[in-house]
Amino acid sequence: MKSKNILKEMTPYQPGQRIEQVKKEYGLNRIVKLASNENPFGYSGKVADHFSRQPSALNIYPDGYTTDLRHALAAKLDVSENQLIFGSGTDEIVQIIGRAFLYPGINTVMAAPTFPQYKHNALVEGAEVKEVPTVNGYHDLTGMLEAIDDKTNVVWLCSPNNPTGCLIPRDQLYAFMEKCPEDILVVLDEAYFEYINGELHPDVLKHLNQYNNLVVLRTFSKAYGLAGLRVGYGIANHELITAMDVVRGPFNTSSIAQHAALLALEDDEFIEDTVSRNSMIKKSFEQFLDSIGWHYFDSHTNFLLVSTPISGEQVFQHLLEKGFIVRPGEGLGVPESIRVTIGNETDMQQLQEVLYQLHHNINEGS
């Protein structure tokens, strides 16, 4: 069987090691997973209460229009219902955008490093990828504008950026939108939107009608804690949404996922508690890193990208043997670093103790 030639040069997504696998391999009783930016505080109690009482009709296809969630989300965001598209996480919407707007002969512009699925899907669709290095973790928007040419179809902005956590400042974002050609699609991925300090929110949805070439991506996987159910969404003008809907699968979000997202959307208290606790614990972790002299990037998310005095792979392996799973920066395009999800208070305190001992051992050996 013949497949696209590019697939021979690519590899499938490699998920992190399974917790049970790590326990068995290293003889550990407990593993703390800090690698996937999941919410350590779980999800809304409203979701748990509902599904403990209400059985789901698993034999019935889900609502292909996502009607109830669409209605509630449109009201909350103050947008029209026809300005929304839903997917199995924002990953699927990235794939949908690739299928709809990327093809051989055109190119797409993105930061490096950034969320790898932008590049992955672009290559699958046969588009050329133009990567513009970040500057201290921030998007080089001037460089990205310079990379745009008459064959550019899509520009990807990840804000806050994954894996650096850095936020594109509001004034720079709007300046970019004013200078970017109107016939080029700009994708603003705000997967970590809920973690952004209110004073720094770009509030792009208020200007959505001004920018007909903009699509904003958000998700229920991060702050809402529904990563296991996979619900993401995009917001854009109706014409863009219609084009994307043509290539969307007809039943791409499950009934359970839709209902859980609807209940989670109503629980503002849970989100406020999550964001508050994340901020407090992250600040404490930053203070610890300052005390041992380890640099970290300016993060507006639930993770930190931490520079390490030895290779990220070595730190990853050391932490793994101590029962902590993080992401080594070598696999993220940032050598000598680790990406650490902010966990709960107890887990992060224990992580600090392990890192302090590692720091001491490195200094003793130098």
Where are the chain's structural domains? 5-43+269-365, 47-267
pLDDT exceeds cutoff 90 at 205? yes
pLDDT exceeds cutoff 80 at 82? yes
**Could you give the angle at which helices 312-321 and 19-26 cross, rounded to 10 degrees?**
80
pLDDT score recorded for residue 2: 76
5 confidence band (pLDDT: 50, 70, 90): confident
Measure the CA angle with vertex 310, ends 307 and 311; round to 5°.
Answer: 80
Query: Which residues, at least 6 apart from 42, have a Cβ–Cβ distance to it below 8 Å?
Result: 48, 225
Core vs surface per residue 3-36: b (16+ CB within 10 A) or e = eeeeeeeeeeeeeeeeeeebeeeeeeeebbbbbe
CA 65 to chain centre: 24
Higher model confidence: residue 17 or residue 159?
A: 159
pLDDT exceeds cutoff 60 at 366? no
pLDDT digits (tens, 9 = 90+) for 19-47: 888 788 888 889 999 999 999 999 999 99
CA 196 to chain centre: 13
pLDDT score recorded for residue 16: 65
pLDDT exceeds cutoff 80 at 1? no
d(CA 145, CA 135): 15
d(CA 235, CA 90): 11
d(CA 58, CA 180): 46
Which CATH number is associated with domain 47-267? 3.40.640.10
Higher model confidence: residue 77 or residue 57?
A: 77
User: Do 5-43+269-365 and 47-267 show the same overall fold?
Assistant: no
Question: pLDDT averaged over the chain?
Answer: 94
* 210-234 mean pLDDT: 97
Residue 281, token pair as written in the block = 């614990």
CA-CA-CA-CA dihedral for 138, 140, 142, 148, to nearest 10: -130
Class of domain 5-43+269-365: alpha beta
Share of the chain above pLDDT 90, in %: 85
Count helices and strands (H / E) in the chain. 12, 12
pLDDT exceeds cutoff 90 at 52? no
pLDDT score recorded for residue 50: 86
pLDDT exceeds cutoff 80 at 228? yes
pLDDT score recorded for residue 365: 67
pLDDT score recorded for residue 24: 82
d(CA 286, CA 366): 24
d(CA 358, CA 337): 14
Give start and end residues of each alpha helix (H) in 78-220. Answer: 89-101, 117-124, 141-147, 170-179
pLDDT score recorded for residue 137: 97
Residue 228, token pair as written in the block = 């296991």
**Region for 214 from its dihedrals, namely left if φ exceeds 0, alpha if ψ lies in -120 to 50, beta otherwise:** beta
pLDDT score recorded for residue 6: 82
Handedness of CA 321, 324, 330, 335 (dihedral sign): negative
pLDDT score recorded for residue 21: 80
pLDDT score recorded for residue 140: 98
pLDDT digits (tens, 9 = 90+) for 309-335: 999 999 999 999 999 999 999 999 999
